[in-house]
C-alpha cells in the first residue's frame, strides 16, 4: 500500500503532467539540435512541453499543413519564395559561408564573380594568382584555395549554391578540417579559405563580399546578414497558421530570446540582430 504523502505526490505529479501544454515543432535538421535545450529549459519553468522533431524543411511544411504540428522552422534558400500567402512568417536565423584570408593579405573585399574564378572549375573567370585579381605587389603569388570542412555545416554547399550556382569546385581546392584551416591561413599569406564560421584568430580576417563586380561589399555582420547585404547566406523562418497565433506567440518569444540567440551563435549560426529581436518581441506584445 502507498502512504498518504506518496499518494499525494503521485496525484500532484499527474495533475501537473495533465495541465502542461504541449507545443509541437518541426525544425530544419540544420538547427533543431541548437534550439531544443533552450526551449525545454523554458518549458520546465512554464509548464510547457515542447516536442521538437528534426526533419527537412519541405516535410515540416507538409506536417504543418496537415495540422500535425503547431509551428515549423524552415530553411529558405536565396531566390526561393517564402510562403507568406499561406502562413504567418517570422525571420529566425541564418547560416553563412565566410571567406577568410591572412590579415597581411592586402585584399579586403571580393565579388561573387571573383570568388567563382578562384574556386570554380567552369566559371566566367579563372584566377590562379593574386595578380590576376589586380593585387598590387602580389602579381606572381599563387592563390592557395582551401575549404574548411565541418560535418555539421553546409557552408560548402551554400557556397556552391550562392557563388557557383551549383557548379563544381576546381580540383586544386584543398579540403581541410575546420579546426586546422586557420592555422594554414596564418602560415600562408597567399591562402584563401571558405569557413563555416567567423575567424577566431585576430590575424585572420573575413572578407567583405559584393554581389556585383563593381558593387558595394559587405562584411558578415548580424545586420548585413539579416538584411541580405551579405550574399552567401541561408535564411531560416518560423512559420505557423494564423489560427494558431496565440499558441505560436509564446513559442516565438522563446525563439527570439537571448538564451536561444546565444545557443545559435555558439553553434556558428547567426541569430537576428539584437535590435530586430527586441522589436519583434515588442510587436508580439502589442498585438495581444
Instruction: Note whether 4-94+235-286 and 98-226 share their fold.
Output: yes
pLDDT number for residue 128:
95
* Average pLDDT in the chain: 90
pLDDT number for residue 20:
60
- Per-residue pLDDT band at 250 (split at 50, 70, 90): confident
CATH fold of 98-226 reads D-Maltodextrin-Binding Protein; domain 2 (3.40.190)
Torsion-angle region of residue 165: left (phi > 0), alpha (psi -120 to 50) or beta? left
pLDDT number for residue 21:
84
Q: Which of 106, 162, 111 is nearest to 138 (CA)?
A: 106
**How far lies 21's CA from each of 18, 46, 193, 248, in Å?**
8, 9, 47, 12
pLDDT at 195 exceeding the cut of 70 = yes
pLDDT number for residue 285:
79
Strand 217-218 relative to strand 208-210, pairing: antiparallel
Scored b (16 or more CB within 10 A) or e, 70-95 reads: bbbbbbbeeeeeebeeebbbbbbbbb
Span 105-142, pLDDT tens digits: 999 999 999 999 999 998 989 999 999 999 988 888 99
CATH superfamily of 4-94+235-286: Periplasmic binding protein-like II (3.40.190.10)
pTM of the model: 0.89
Domain range list for the chain: 4-94+235-286, 98-226
Which residues contact residue 124 at a Cβ distance below 8 angstroms, ignoring those fewer than 6 apart?
113, 116, 117
pLDDT number for residue 166:
80
- Per-residue pLDDT band at 151 (split at 50, 70, 90): confident
pLDDT number for residue 1:
46
Which residues contact residue 138 at a Cβ distance below 8 angstroms, ignoring those fewer than 6 apart?
106, 129, 130, 131, 190
Amino acid at each position: 500500500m502507498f502512504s498518504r504523502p506518496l499518494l499525494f505526490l503521485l496525484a500532484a505529479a499527474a495533475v501537473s503532467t495533465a495541465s502542461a501544454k504541449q507545443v509541437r515543432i518541426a525544425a530544419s535538421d540544420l538547427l533543431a539540435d541548437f534550439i531544443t535545450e533552450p526551449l525545454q529549459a523554458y518549458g520546465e519553468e512554464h509548464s510547457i512541453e515542447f516536442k521538437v522533431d528534426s526533419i527537412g524543411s519541405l516535410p515540416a511544411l507538409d506536417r504543418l499543413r496537415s495540422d500535425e504540428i503547431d509551428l515549423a522552422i524552415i530553411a529558405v534558400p536565396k531566390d526561393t519564395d517564402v510562403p507568406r500567402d499561406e502562413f504567418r512568417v517570422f525571420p529566425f536565423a541564418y547560416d553563412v559561408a565566410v571567406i577568410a584570408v591572412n590579415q597581411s593579405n592586402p585584399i579586403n573585399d571580393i565579388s561573387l564573380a571573383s570568388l567563382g574564378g578562384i574556386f570554380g572549375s567552369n566559371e566566367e573567370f579563372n584566377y590562379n594568382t593574386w595578380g590576376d585579381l589586380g593585387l598590387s605587389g602580389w602579381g606572381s603569388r599563387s592563390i592557395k584555395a582551401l575549404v574548411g570542412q565541418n560535418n555539421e555545416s553546409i557552408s560548402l554547399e551554400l557556397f556552391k549554391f550562392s557563388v557557383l550556382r551549383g557548379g563544381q569546385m576546381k580540383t586544386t581546392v584543398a579540403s581541410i578540417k575546420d579546426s586546422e584551416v586557420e592555422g594554414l591561413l596564418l602560415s600562408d599569406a597567399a591562402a584563401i579559405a571558405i569557413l563555416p564560421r567567423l575567424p577566431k584568430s585576430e590575424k585572420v580576417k573575413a572578407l567583405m563580399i559584393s554581389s556585383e563586380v563593381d558593387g558595394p561589399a559587405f562584411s558578415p555582420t548580424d545586420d548585413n546578414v539579416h538584411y541580405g547585404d551579405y550574399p552567401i547566406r541561408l535564411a531560416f523562418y518560423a512559420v505557423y497558421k494564423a489560427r494558431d497565433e496565440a499558441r505560436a506567440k509564446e513559442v516565438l518569444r522563446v525563439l527570439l530570446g537571448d538564451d536561444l540567440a546565444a545557443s545559435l551563435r555558439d553553434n556558428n549560426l547567426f541569430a537576428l540582430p539584437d535590435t530586430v529581436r527586441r522589436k519583434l518581441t515588442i510587436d508580439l506584445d502589442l498585438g495581444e
